[in-house]
């Protein structure tokens, strides 16, 4: 999403939360606590997602995660799409395994609490 925001900064309304807004354990804890819960426990689990090649990952990203904004992205033209795609390739490149496939680590926070 950061690559998209770099080229289409107004694609997400100001103040809109990110899908990762509760990815920080402290932020999650504070949100749960401010909702009136106590005895809060947060555990982090790491899973690995095989996203395939970058081309497979990019195609999947556009048809699922970014599907709601796909028209807006595509309406900006092929030069902008190419620039977004090039920027977007930097992060996955760090996670390419020996077979040329992307292996993303996904951290999942699991929270429990009492009322």
In this predicted model, what pLDDT tens digit does every residue of 31-80 receive, in sequence order? Answer: 999 999 999 999 999 999 999 999 999 888 888 877 778 888 888 888 98
Per-residue pLDDT reduced to its tens digit, 5-15: 787 877 777 77
94: confidence class by pLDDT, cuts 50, 70, 90: very high
> How many domains are contained in the chain?
1
User: Is 33 inside a domain boundary?
Assistant: yes
- CA gap 39, 48 in Å, rounded: 29
Residue 55 has what pLDDT? 92
User: Is 88 inside a domain boundary?
Assistant: yes
Q: How far apart are the first and last CA of the chain?
A: 35
Rounded (5°) CA angle 15-73-6: 55
Rounded (5°) CA angle 12-14-64: 20
Nearest to 65 by CA among 46, 45, 49: 49
Q: Which residues constitute the domain of residue 97?
A: 2-11+21-114
Q: What mean pLDDT do residues 21-29 have?
A: 90
Tokens of 93: 């490149």
Residue for token pair 């990815």? 23
Q: Is the pTM of this model over 0.75?
A: no
Tokens of 109: 């926070």
Q: How far is CA 99 from CA 22, 56, 85, 91, 96, in A?
A: 33, 14, 21, 17, 8
Average pLDDT, the chain: 88
User: Is 85 inside a domain boundary?
Assistant: yes
Residue 10 has what pLDDT? 74
Which helix (H) or strand (E) segment holds residue 62: the answer is helix 54-63
User: Is 16 inside a domain boundary?
Assistant: no
């Amino acid at each position: 999403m950061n690559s998209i925001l770099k080229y289409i900064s107004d694609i997400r309304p100001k103040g809109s939360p990110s899908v990762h807004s509760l990815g920080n354990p402290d932020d999650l804890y504070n949100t749960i606590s401010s909702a009136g819960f106590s005895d809060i426990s947060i555990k982090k689990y790491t899973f690995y997602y095989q996203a395939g090649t970058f081309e497979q990952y990019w195609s999947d990203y556009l048809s699922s995660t970014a599907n709601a904004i796909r028209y807006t992205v595509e309406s900006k033209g092929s030069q902008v799409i190419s620039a977004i795609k090039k920027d977007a390739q930097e992060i996955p490149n760090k996670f390419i395994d020996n077979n040329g496939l992307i292996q993303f680590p996904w951290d999942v926070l699991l929270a429990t609490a009492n009322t």
